[in-house]
Amino acid sequence: MFGFGVVGQGLYDIIKTKKLNLEIKKFVIKNADKQRSLPAELFTTDAEAILSDKEINTVVELIDDADAAFEITKRALTSGKNVVSANKKMIASHLEELVAIQQEFGTSLLYEGAVCGSIPIIRNLEEYYDNELLHSVTGIFNGSSNYILSKIFNENQSYDAALQKAQDLGFAETDPTLDVGGYDPKYKLAIVASHAYGIYVDPTAILNLGIDKLGEQDIRFAKEKGYKIKLLPLAREIDNRRVVLYVLPRFVNKDNILFNVENENNGVLVKAAFADEQFFYGKGAGGHPTGSAVLSDITALRYGYRYEYKKHLDAGQVAYSTDYKLKIYLRYAEENTLEQINFDTISERFYGENFKYVIGEISLQEIIAKRDIINQTGNFVAELS
């Protein structure tokens, strides 16, 4: 196992509790001087101790460095070892190459723990929905931002206070940008889109705007209208040939099943042609929930399971697209902001001394092109139904 952080420790706890017939032979860690709860001989800083050991048939990769994780995963797969990973950035950024390596060397890479913690969404997209026509996949993919938003809307905490609480509890990092900026759910969305629609999309090509610019005016506006704000990734097929992907805050009302997904929990909503609408709910973060997903993958490897990427075989006519219209709320600070952004239509406009916003229809391409302007301090964007 590479890494012995929150998830690694959680996985070890589960294995020890369940007394499974498997053995963790060695942990590779970065800091040899850090105090550990296990015997020192189980730990090493030498990656070759795992990668060159022919007796080891499965590598579990649980580190936070995406570049290093890719090199470890690639080396293990090409050496005949199966890999289980929870590194969503690494997988999203290199999935096409990793699939090709698996096919060439006959090895298997599983990564259920990389998307939505304990929710088995990847396995369901691979198996249950393998012949289904999926209209959309959306939901709450990031427990840290959802925890912050829950504290804001349910307990009237300020954004700063809610963020600090999330950091104190270990839900958010000291630098929370990956979570509150929408990058973490974007990587997960890219992985989900691959299994749902059979497309490989570079995460850098996917729009993500987060909740880091959320202000008191936006919170007050949402509450007055009966909304909560949730940070939602969306994969949606349009006209049977194109798939749109983006991550945006969204106003949701009480009729939306995601309205009551609170704190660090995740929820995935799948809309399909024949199965109709189905909802998956569970813990999206934490050592034990994510560790349980990792263990599920390890167990699956014992009976030869591998992702078949069935949707990719029929994906020739499906392509990623940004040609899409959506309705947004834009709170802005400077008047010239609106002069630089081209709305197709504006249906509502408010202009006050300390609060200015517009609601209108705009193209996804325009938001991507003007992202730096839209994401300036004093502005906030959220999608409206």
- pLDDT, one tens digit per residue, over 36-60 is 888 888 899 999 989 999 999 999 9
- The answer to whether the CB of 183 falls within 8 A of the CB of 144 is no
Q: What CA–CA distances, in Å, run from 12 to 18, 196, 228, 305, 363?
A: 10, 31, 37, 22, 47
- The answer to whether the CB of 269 falls within 8 A of the CB of 262 is no
Q: What is the mean pLDDT of residues 200-212?
A: 97
Query: 18 pLDDT exceeds 80?
Result: no
Residues 302-305: contacts with CB under 8 Å, at least 24 apart: 302/22, 304/108, 305/108, 305/110
Q: Which of 51-60, 219-228, 309-318 has the lowest mean pLDDT?
A: 309-318
Backbone phi, psi, residue 350, to 5°: -130, 135
Task: Provide the 3-class DSSP secondary structure of residue 85.
Answer: strand
Tens-place pLDDT, residues 115-137: 998 899 999 999 999 888 899 99
Closest to 140 measured CA to CA, from 286, 236, 277, 259: 259
CATH number of this structure's domain 122-283+316-321: 3.30.360.10
pLDDT for the residue numbered 265: 94
Share of the chain above pLDDT 90, in %: 79
- For the chain, the structural domain boundaries read 6-119+291-315, 122-283+316-321, 322-385
Q: What is the mean pLDDT of residues 148-167?
A: 94
Of 81, 188, 228, 230, which residue is the catalytic one?
188
pLDDT for the residue numbered 315: 57
The fold of 6-119+291-315 is Rossmann fold (3.40.50)
- The answer to whether the CB of 11 falls within 8 A of the CB of 291 is yes
Q: For residues 192 and 188, what is the distance between their CA atoms, to the nearest angstrom?
A: 6
DSSP annotation string for 162-176: HHHHHHHTTSS-SS-
Side-chain-side CA neighbours of 109 within 13 Å: the count stands at: 32
Active site residue 271: no
The model's confidence at residue 349, banded by pLDDT at 50, 70 and 90, is very high
Backbone phi, psi, residue 271, to 5°: -115, 125
CA dihedral 181, 182, 183, 186 (to 10 degrees): -170
The model's confidence at residue 314, banded by pLDDT at 50, 70 and 90, is low
- The answer to whether the CB of 28 falls within 8 A of the CB of 50 is yes
Class of domain 322-385: alpha beta
The model's confidence at residue 183, banded by pLDDT at 50, 70 and 90, is very high
Query: 83 pLDDT exceeds 90?
Result: yes
**pTM, whole model, 2 decimals?**
0.95
Give the sign of the dihedral formed by CA 308, CA 234, CA 187, CA 2.
Answer: negative
pLDDT for the residue numbered 53: 92
pLDDT mean across residues, the chain:
93
pLDDT for the residue numbered 200: 95
Tens-place pLDDT, residues 239-277: 888 999 999 999 999 999 999 999 999 999 999 998 899
